[in-house]
Chain A
Amino acid sequence: MGLSGPLSATELAAAASSAAAARSRRFEPRRLLAPLSVLVLAGLWAATAWLLDSPRLFPSPALVLEAILREFRAGELLIHLGWTLMRVAVAFLLAMAIGAAIGIAMGRMALIDDFGRPWLLFFLNLPALVTIVLCYIWLGLGEVAAVVAVAINKIPNVAVTLREGAKALDQALFEMAQVFAVPKRLVLEHIVLPQLAPYFLAAARSGLALVWKIVLVVELLGRPNGVGFQIHSAFQLFDVATVLAYALAFMAVVQLIEWAGFQPLARRLERWRR
Chain B
Amino acid sequence: MAALSVVVVRKRFPAVGAAPEKLVLHDLRFRVAAGETVAVLGPSGCGKTTLLNLIAGLDREFEGRIERPAGRLAFVFQEPRLLPWRTVEDNLRFVLDGVPDASARIRTALGEVELPEVGPVYASRLSLGMARRVALARALVVRPSLLLLDEPFVSLDQPTAWRLRLLLLELLARHRTTTLIVTHEPREAVMLADRILLLSAAPARLRAELAVPLSFDERREQARIEAVARALLPDLREPIAAEAA
Contact = CB atoms under 8 A, between A and B. Distances in A.
- Pick the most buried of B94, B115, B116, B124: most chain A CB atoms within 10 A of its CB: B94
Interface in B64-98: 72-75, 77, 79, 81, 83-86, 90, 94-95, 97
Contacts of B56: 179
Nearest to B53: A175
Nearest to A194: B85
Contact of A182 (B84, B95, B156): B95
Contacts of A5: 114
B215 to A, nearest CB: 27
Interface string A169-181: 0001101111111
Interface string B124-138: 111101100000001
Contacts of A33: none
Nearest to A7: B117
Interface in B151-180: 156-157, 160, 163-164
B214 to A, nearest CB: 25
B79 A6 contact: no
B94 A9 contact: no
Contact of A186 (B94, B116, B117): B94
Interface centre among B90, B97, B123, B138, by most chain A C-beta atoms within 10 angstroms, is B97
B85 A13 contact: no
Contacts of B106: none
Nearest to B122: A272
B160 A3 contact: yes
Contacts of B83: 173, 190-191, 194
B127 A178 contact: no
B121 interface: yes
A10 B75 contact: no
Contacts of A182: 94-95, 97
A12 interface: yes
Residue with the highest number of chain B CB atoms closer than 10 Å, among A9, A13, A16:
A9
Contacts of B121: 9-10, 12-13
B115 A9 contact: yes
Contacts of B94: 177, 180, 182, 186, 190
Interface string A181-221: 11100100011001000000000000000000000000000
A216 to B, nearest CB: 38
A144 to B, nearest CB: 39
B142 interface: yes
B34 interface: no
Contact of B85 (A2, A178, A272): A272
A166 B138 CA distance: 26
A177 B58 CA distance: 11
Interface residues of B, number: 40
A185 to B, nearest CB: 9
A12 B125 CA distance: 8
A4 B159 CA distance: 12
Nearest to B119: A9
Interface in A158-175: 172-173, 175
B118 interface: yes
A2 B129 CA distance: 7
Nearest to B80: A176
A1 interface: yes
A137 to B, nearest CB: 47
Contacts of B17: none
B100 interface: no
Contacts of A176: 75, 77, 81
A180 B122 contact: no
B120 interface: yes
A173 B127 CA distance: 19
Question: Which one of B81, B85, B156 has the highest number of Cβ atoms from chain A below 10 Å of its Cβ?
Answer: B85
Given A2-B160, A191-B83, A272-B123, 18 more contacts: A2-B157, A6-B115, A9-B115, A9-B126, A10-B118, A10-B121, A12-B121, A13-B125, A172-B77, A175-B77, A179-B56, A179-B73, A182-B97, A183-B97, A194-B83, A194-B85, A271-B122, A274-B124
- Which 10 A-B pairs rank lowest in CB-CB distance, beginning with the nearest? A3-B129, A9-B118, A3-B160, A180-B95, A194-B85, A272-B122, A179-B75, A272-B85, A176-B81, A1-B127
29 contacts: A3-B157, A3-B160, A4-B130, A6-B114, A6-B117, A9-B118, A9-B126, A10-B118, A12-B125, A13-B120, A172-B77, A172-B79, A172-B81, A173-B81, A173-B83, A175-B58, A175-B81, A179-B56, A179-B58, A179-B75, A180-B73, A180-B75, A181-B72, A182-B94, A186-B97, A272-B86, A272-B122, A272-B123, A272-B124
